[in-house]
Chain A
Amino acid sequence: MDEPTPDSLLPLPTAVFHILIAVADRDRHGYSIMQDVSARTADKVRLSPGTLYSSIRRMLEQGLIEELADSPDPSNSDERRRYYRVTRFGKRVAAVEVERLKALIREARATGLAPSA
């Protein structure tokens, strides 16, 4: 399959962006992602298992994240857990998305729609 360009994936769906943020600093399994997103947003965004894995399926296909072959946490003996990590492409896409959002905020401020920082 052809590699998608970062721009073709924008704007990122909210769930996808949150998942990218969650796996940005360390590799996580599904439930850990759900917890991280909840904690980070003070429970404002809660991912249900269906939404989470539907997004993960798509992100794997798009190459934004990858599944780890082995559990990174040897203390956790539960082998059935699958861990995900952000790819370089995923980071690039996230960066482009951040730039897009910044530009959007700049424009909102320039027209007085949003207060200046």
Chain B
Amino acid sequence: MIPARAVYRTLLHCYPAAFRDEYGDQMSFAFAEELAEARRTGSRLQQAAVWAGAAADVLIVAPREHCHVIAEDLRYALRMMAAKPGFAIVAVLSLALGIGANTAIFSLWNGVVHASLPGVRQPEQLAILSNPNAAGGWHGNLEGIRDWLSYGEFEELRDRAASFSGVIASQSSLASWQIRFEGHDWEEAQGRLVSGGYFQVLGVKPLLGRIFTAEDDRADSPHAVLSYHYWQRRFGANPDVLGKTLTVGNALLTIVGVTPRGFIGETAGQQPDLWIPLRMQPAVMPGDDWLHDTPPEKAMWLHVFGRLKPGVTLARAEAESNAIFRSSLESFYGGITSIQRRRELLDQRLKLQPGARGASETRGDFSVSLTALLAAVGLLLLIACANLANLLLARGAARRPELAVRLSLGASRGRLVRQLLTESLMLAIFGGLGGLFIAYFLHGALVRMVIASDEDFRMSFSLDPLMLGFTFAVTLAAAVVFGLLPAWQITKIDAGIALKEQSRSATPGIARMRWGRMLVGLQLALSVPLLAAAGLLGRTVYNLQHIQLGYPAAHLLLVHVNSRAAGYDSAQSAVLFRRLIDEIRRIPRVKAASFSSNGVFSGSSSSNSIEVEGYTWRQDRNRDAELDVAGPDLFTSLGVPLLSGRDILASDRAGAPAVCVINEAFANRFFAKRNPIGMHVTSIDNSERTPYQIVGIVRNARTQTLRKELKPEFYIAAAQLQSGLKRANFLIRTNTETAPVLAAVRRAFQRVDAALPIGSAHSLEERLASLTARDHTTAQLGAVFGVLALTLAAIGLYGVMSYSIARRTSEIAIRMALGARSVRIIAMILRETIGLVLAGLAVGVALAYAASRWIASQLYGIAPEDPFTLAIAIGVLLAAMSAAVYLPARRAAQLDPIAALRQE
């Protein structure tokens, strides 16, 4: 039988060590006597009562004693913080910065990259059948994996797919509509066309009124559902909004419901104002019918989601969806006789992906930037922690007498470590709270930066459990990282020696100095990749700003006109565009003007299958070339130099020989050593073949993409395009700043047709700025983090050097008294540091190389391992480190040896 005292002694381990050490013996005496007394009475009940008392003590008294110790530690930690407020402020501030930056970036990363769609029931059951990263549309034909689906394809899937409990479709790009509420002026609103089952399948219950139903897919249903956000903002949450009417395009819609707060739909980061049934598309966008396709062309513009039935895998749903998709393609292309053409057209399929996170245009772009930034702020926090650890080490030396007294009074080393860790935790908790505060502001700034490149992006700062958990974990990790090592090192003291040491200064424990130096080395190593990344990003922005477009970027105004939406047919549009050009050219400060279908940096592009005279396609799968439809004098107006031949002219009208202009890439690709002028390019639009004679070659110009390689492109005359243009992008070259000219352009448009809506109007420079905004953001943040890292590392080294020199005052004084000159003293100190700095830099360079592939996709015109940038980063670090060492070294060299020794 185990002796009762041994059992009781084991129970005593539930009490804090200090309490156990102090009273453990007494308690077990008392317990043993109590038990012996109970045994003497012979009553088992009495004995059981004694044991029950001991058990109750463990459950009630022991936790209370632990709380007492913790409270004591906290009180002590607060007193220590109050005693050295400078240290506490520096520590809390640097931690708050580090934790705040981490929390803010994490919150954005979580919202953009990771979070499920808000307000959607069981989002993990959703599958997306279209490409979640693409928003937009395509009219014509596509091959391979489909980005978007047509309305007809959606209907087939909705009606036939058994893998899903429901299938829904939505307009993939957020539309900007001009709308008018009864009795009000026109105003702009963002919205989406969605299928009838949209809200039901997403599991959304209306806050007010009703939502769309399957009925809305069957009949034209002139209804609209508002988002909570819009209802609040536009209607002040007035419940009378139900039944009000609004006009969009040709449609008169009645508001039937409001969605609950937080619901944004199927696309992450976008907040629509209202939703309209898909069946209303032709009325909402007059001039375009995207619901009915005539073979062989389709309007592909929808995102399609399905809610998987329980137990159905994504693979099974994909197989079934593709079978349905294929049969719908076969019936659609049934009329095509050419077997080869049919095979090409049928080469399309769907790829299903988990839909819980919804669609997002920005996610792909941002996830790389944000993951890199998350890594950068993580490094930054590590550097801050290393710095704090160093400060704590240095401070620990000053606290040696205090700790030695506590040790000699009987405190255990574990007790001291616990006390010191409590102090670190205290600092970290204050830092964490400050971090949340900083994160709140940083988050706002970050979102504004995202909006600069994606104006539909919306995201509010929310303290959800995941965010709080992250902040808490980071705080805790920081406390352990910066607290544990110093606590362990500082308490490694012999009470007797430490107390005697008080009277005279001595070289501190070699181990502690070594740890301090290693921490500085680590900071240096971590700073190299951050600084190098900042440099690379900075040069990327510079390269993007100084990119050769092939024409001047300044003084170019871009105006988009959608004539079809304003009710013009093809023939009328051609006349309209001619009149608009004439009016624009009459404006005094306009140097030249033209238009084209895609314009420059409008986001739209087109391509067509072609055959080129004298050129035979080999095994090419893709027999397309980029195509734009140009107004007269396009290249002259834009300023793209002609290499040979001529521009598209006003004389290239319907009836005249069909002509085209090609770019340099086209000439190099298809006419290696031949002269292209006079040769023919045949454009194949389905079975229709139109040959165009090449009349000019222009230099390559960047018109749609800054980063991608330029493709072969040909340009045909708008007046010779049989189907005519539905919309045009006007390119207006001005003599002066574009802003004042824009007003004149608007007036000119009004003179031609007062009802003509101008889609968008801005200067090319504004457009380019918004295209490179994300690069700017990343570079700015990178620079901020780089400078912070540099500062922290320099402070760290400065601190360690000042401290070690201060501790060596007597040694230096003796050397000087023996005749060493200041220069020698400085050289000695520098020599002792150079190894540390070089080792840190060497590790840092290795880290930078290892991390370089992470950043590669963010760069433009510069290699991720660019040696020049790395050299500059190292140079900057070396300069900062030299300053951090030189200042304390010079102070040491200016010592008055006699005074210093007397002080000792």
B-contacting residues of A (Cβ < 8 Å)?
29-31, 34, 46, 48-54, 56-57, 80-82
Interface string of B19-54 (1 = CB under 8 A from A): 100110111111101100000000000000100011
In the complex, besides A34-B30, A52-B27, 12 extra interface pairs with C-beta distance below 8 angstroms are: A29-B26, A48-B57, A49-B30, A49-B34, A49-B57, A50-B54, A50-B61, A56-B23, A57-B19, A57-B22, A81-B29, A82-B26
**Residue in A30, A54, A56, A57 whose CB lies within 8 Å of B29:** A30
A31: chain B residues at CB < 8 Å are: 29-30, 33-34
Instruction: Check B731 for interface membership: any CB of A closer than 8 A.
Output: no
Knowing A49-B57, A50-B61, A51-B57 touch, does A57 contact B33 (C-beta < 8 A)? no
A49 touches B27 (CB 8 A): yes
Q: How far is the CA of A31 from the CA of B36 in the complex (A)?
A: 12
Most B CB within 10 A of own CB, among A30, A31, A50: A50
Q: How far is the CA of A57 from the CA of B27 in the complex (A)?
A: 12
Q: How far is the CA of A57 from the CA of B19 in the complex (A)?
A: 8
B54 touches A54 (CB 8 A): no
Report A17 CB to chain B, min CB distance, Å: 18
**Would you list the 3 A-B pairs with minimal beta carbon distance, nearest first?**
A50-B57, A48-B53, A50-B61
Sample (12) of A-B pairs whose CB atoms are under 8 Å apart: A31-B30, A46-B49, A46-B53, A48-B61, A49-B26, A49-B30, A50-B15, A50-B27, A50-B53, A50-B58, A53-B27, A80-B25
How many A-B contacts are there with CB distance less than 8 Å? Answer: 61
Closest to B26 in A: A30
Report A15 CB to chain B, min CB distance, Å: 10
Report A116 CB to chain B, min CB distance, Å: 38
Most A CB within 10 A of own CB, among B15, B29, B49: B29
Report A16 CB to chain B, min CB distance, Å: 14
**Residue in A49, A51, A54, A81 whose CB lies within 8 Å of B31:** A49
Interface string of B850-871 (1 = CB under 8 A from A): 0000000000000000000000
B29 touches A50 (CB 8 A): no
> DSSP majority for the B interface?
helix
A52: chain B residues at CB < 8 Å are: 27, 30
B34 touches A34 (CB 8 A): yes
Instruction: Check B417 for interface membership: any CB of A closer than 8 A.
Output: no
Instruction: Check B278 for interface membership: any CB of A closer than 8 A.
Output: no
B54 touches A49 (CB 8 A): yes
A-contacting residues of B (Cβ < 8 Å)?
15, 19, 22-23, 25-31, 33-34, 49, 53-54, 56-58, 60-62, 64-65
A50 touches B25 (CB 8 A): no
Closest to B22 in A: A57
A49: chain B residues at CB < 8 Å are: 26-28, 30-31, 34, 53-54, 57
Q: How far is the CA of A54 from the CA of B57 in the complex (A)?
A: 10
Report A53 CB to chain B, min CB distance, Å: 4
A54 touches B26 (CB 8 A): no
Knowing A34-B30, A50-B61, A52-B30 touch, does A57 contact B23 (C-beta < 8 A)? yes
Q: How far is the CA of A52 from the CA of B57 in the complex (A)?
A: 10
A51 touches B33 (CB 8 A): no
A53 touches B53 (CB 8 A): no
A53 touches B23 (CB 8 A): yes
B31: chain A residues at CB < 8 Å are: 49
Knowing A31-B34, A54-B64 touch, does A48 contact B22 (C-beta < 8 A)? no
Closest to A53 in B: B23
Report B57 CB to chain A, min CB distance, Å: 3
Closest to A81 in B: B29
B22 touches A54 (CB 8 A): no
B23: chain A residues at CB < 8 Å are: 53, 56-57
A48 touches B29 (CB 8 A): no
Closest to A46 in B: B53
Q: How far is the CA of A57 from the CA of B15 in the complex (A)?
A: 13
Most A CB within 10 A of own CB, among B23, B30, B53, B54: B30
B61 touches A51 (CB 8 A): yes
B34 touches A50 (CB 8 A): no
Report B409 CB to chain A, min CB distance, Å: 15
A57: chain B residues at CB < 8 Å are: 19, 22-23, 65
Q: How far is the CA of A34 from the CA of B49 in the complex (A)?
A: 14
Closest to B19 in A: A57
Report A79 CB to chain B, min CB distance, Å: 11
Q: How far is the CA of A112 from the CA of B23 in the complex (A)?
A: 46
Q: How far is the CA of A34 from the CA of B38 in the complex (A)?
A: 13
Q: How far is the CA of A35 from the CA of B519 in the complex (A)?
A: 59
